[in-house]
Structure 1
Amino acid sequence: MSLAEQQAKSTSLDNTPHPSVKHCTDTVNARYTHGRPDHELVPSRYVLKVGTIEVTVVSDGVLSLPGAMLGHNADPAVREAWLEDKFLPPDVLEWALNVVVVRSGGRTILVDAGIGAEFPDLKRAGQLVGRLDDAGIDLSSVTDVVLTHLHMDHIGGLLVDGVKEVLRPDLRIHVAAAEIKFWEAPDFSHVSMPPGFPDALRVSAKRFLKEYRNQLRPFEDEHEVAPGVRVQRTGGHTPGHSVVRLASGGDRLTFAGDAVFQVGFEHPDWYNGFEHDPEEAARVRVSLLREMAANRESLLATHLSFPSVCHVAVDGDVFRWVPGPWEY
């Protein structure tokens, strides 16, 4: 049985989906049925170059969550108006799940790992293992993993049955030391998540840290993973949240993880429900978007619509999302 087939048969940590996660999924599936066939309608990978660095964006699927998650401190009427203006339903936000594979200096670097197979009711998410295989990317070729943070939709793919056995024994997993410390006793006092999500996040992070402790390569503020590939701690979303900066031949690109969501361009002061320090997350978001606008580099992020390649423009006191031209 292939690793992709093993993933399809995997279930949650205790073989039972968390009831709150299942309720959210059932509600979404009942109201927003797309009638998609089993095969993919669009490509799930996109390749671009940053100088001599090769970047492959891989879709782990899409995760449906309550619309309030994109700005729980906003006036509900204003939030619903923004969703309507974007031709989106008022109460459900479909978050893309983007993962990046970077090749530089003879190293193959997986940046984040998707949500995995922990929640079998999330049928349109957790596709990473199969889609890496479709893209011709062998897990055994991965030399490094960079984790922007330890939320379950960024580490779950490493917890899929059979994955660890395929990965290299000398694999290096780069994650901020502050992130590791945070998950020893995580603080959820400032989040606004659906019930059950804090418990699910705790369980996933605890299991990950236990299973991969020997592969962890913690860094303090910044670390060069490969030529032109740096990981830099920003904090905010979580204390150790980090971004990945690529630079080669005058080209630059930043993978922003969860620092930027679609609504963050027009409403950078809106608090995402999964931010552990919303005020700091807003400051990080504004600073990052200002930098992106000033130097005109490309931006990728986990939850921007696949393949998420874009630029940032300043529009008065806020920002404007400018989709990057498709590289045929």
Structure 2
Amino acid sequence: MPNSKTLFVASFLALAIAASASAQMPPQQPDSKAFKIGSLDLVSLHDAQFVLPNDGKVFGVGHSPEEIGEVLKAAGAPTDAVTLSVDALLVKAPKRVILIDTGVGGALQQSLAQAGTKPEEVTDILITHSHPDHMGGLVKDGKLAFPKATIRMSSAEWAFARKNAQLANIVKVIDGNVKTFKPGATVVPQITSVSLKGHTPGHVGYEIVSGKGKLLDIGDTVHSSIISLVKPEWLVGFDNDEKGGEKNRIDTLKKLAKDNELVFTPHFPFPGVGRIAADGDHFSWEPSVPAAK
């Protein structure tokens, strides 16, 4: 059975997304941004965004809203709330059309159409983790939203998803289309899974390599482009293992800053492509989208 922490995370995400889709946010607008990694064509796809109150329950657990507000203010952002984008990544390979995460099922289908891709053309869906803002778009009108796709996630994450009552309707629809792997495995040609522990039991990223080009989708290693980088040591309520999430966040950010590797961050401002830079005792975000041709 899911523990109280698991249920809190899933419930809070569901409530936050529902709220942002109604009174707090305008109707979600589709958007897409194409670029290349080596010979591969990639497209960042916008699905939704949601607003979380600055109440110390998610970002900066254990810190006051006033303290969190000072970090937001220093970056020129509103101090009463944190806005997160919800995006997915499309990879067009010679014999495959790969989608990494599916958002909540907001504007994803329209964004996919902008990218010139039909749902039935998607051959593989790679899930970083099973929170509803990453796999909610797998199902549409009670059916598979991508009817010909194999859904791939780590074995630990699929086991975690199957125990989560919040995901029962999604699990029922996708069961039979899921193939699992061990973190570190090459899940499809040119894309290797990377263990990123702490957020959920089987949370992974995906490293995409083509020639000399490389990009790492880091999933929910980070959330806010401000707080996650300025205060990576602050605990995050979304993390199933808050201390494990903190360690993974700091270790991953240090490595990315050292290697100057291109990353995709699904919750940073769209299109969520850029690099992590060291900035004194913390980090900063440098948006950088490669050319499409």
Verify: 1:92 aligned to 2:81, yes or no: yes
Change in CA separation of 1:150 and 1:20 when aligned onto 2, cut-off 3 Å: closer
Paired residue secondary structure (1:258): helix
Paired residue secondary structure (1:136): coil
Paired residue secondary structure (1:183): helix
Offset at residue 94 of structure 1 (A): 1.3
Preserved CA contact (<8 Å) 2:142 2:173: no
Q: What corresponds to 1:62 in structure 2?
A: 49
Q: What corresponds to 1:288 in structure 2?
A: 252
The whole-number CA distance in structure 2 between the counterparts of 1:257 and 1:306 is: 14
Count of residue correspondences:
276
Change in CA separation of 1:78 and 1:247 when aligned onto 2, cut-off 3 Å: same
The whole-number CA distance in structure 2 between the counterparts of 1:26 and 1:55 is: 27
Offset at residue 264 of structure 1 (A): 1.5
Q: 212, 221, 227: which is aligned to 2:174? A: 212
The whole-number CA distance in structure 1 between the counterparts of 2:121 and 2:218 is: 24
Paired residue secondary structure (2:248): helix
Q: 161, 165, 181: which is aligned to 1:183? A: 161
| CA-to-aligned-CA distance 1:221-280 (integer Å, 9 cap, x gap) | 222133321122322110111101011211211111111121221111112221111110
TM-score, length of structure 2 as denominator length? 0.85
The whole-number CA distance in structure 1 between the counterparts of 2:147 and 2:208 is: 24
Verify: 1:51 aligned to 2:38, yes or no: yes
Paired residue secondary structure (1:155): helix
Q: 128, 149, 153: which is aligned to 1:148? A: 128
Verify: 1:111 aligned to 2:75, yes or no: no
Preserved CA contact (<8 Å) 1:104 1:226: no
Instruction: Judging by fraction of residues, say which structure has more strand.
Output: 2
Offset at residue 105 of structure 1 (A): 4.0
Where structure 2 has 5 or more consecutive residues not aligned to the other structure, the ranges are 1-12
Offset at residue 21 of structure 1 (A): 5.0
Preserved CA contact (<8 Å) 2:122 2:146: no
Verify: 1:256 aligned to 2:215, yes or no: no
Q: What corresponds to 1:159 in structure 2?
A: 139
Identity %: 28
Q: What is the 5 A alignment of 1:164-175?
A: 164=144, 167-168=147-148, 171-175=149-153
Q: What corresponds to 1:238 in structure 2?
A: 200
Q: What corresponds to 1:8 in structure 2?
A: none
Offset at residue 91 of structure 1 (A): 2.2
Change in CA separation of 1:50 and 1:267 when aligned onto 2, cut-off 3 Å: same
The letter of the residue matching 1:156 is G
The whole-number CA distance in structure 1 between the counterparts of 2:133 and 2:18 is: 18
Deviates more, 1:73-82 or 1:253-262: 73-82
Paired residue secondary structure (1:265): helix
Change in CA separation of 1:57 and 1:26 when aligned onto 2, cut-off 3 Å: closer
Deviates more, 1:205-214 or 1:55-64: 205-214
The whole-number CA distance in structure 1 between the counterparts of 2:132 and 2:117 is: 22
Which protein has the larger Cα radius of gyration, Structure 1 or Structure 2?
1
TM-score, length of structure 1 as denominator length? 0.77
The whole-number CA distance in structure 2 between the counterparts of 1:20 and 1:308 is: 24
The whole-number CA distance in structure 2 between the counterparts of 1:94 and 1:248 is: 33
The whole-number CA distance in structure 2 between the counterparts of 1:216 and 1:132 is: 22
Q: What corresponds to 1:305 in structure 2?
A: 269
The letter of the residue matching 2:95 is G
The whole-number CA distance in structure 2 between the counterparts of 1:215 and 1:26 is: 29
Change in CA separation of 1:178 and 1:139 when aligned onto 2, cut-off 3 Å: same
The whole-number CA distance in structure 2 between the counterparts of 1:212 and 1:311 is: 34
The whole-number CA distance in structure 2 between the counterparts of 1:26 and 1:299 is: 27
The whole-number CA distance in structure 1 between the counterparts of 2:252 and 2:14 is: 36
Change in CA separation of 1:165 and 1:66 when aligned onto 2, cut-off 3 Å: closer
Change in CA separation of 1:316 and 1:86 when aligned onto 2, cut-off 3 Å: closer
| Segments ≥4 residues shifted beyond 6 Å | none
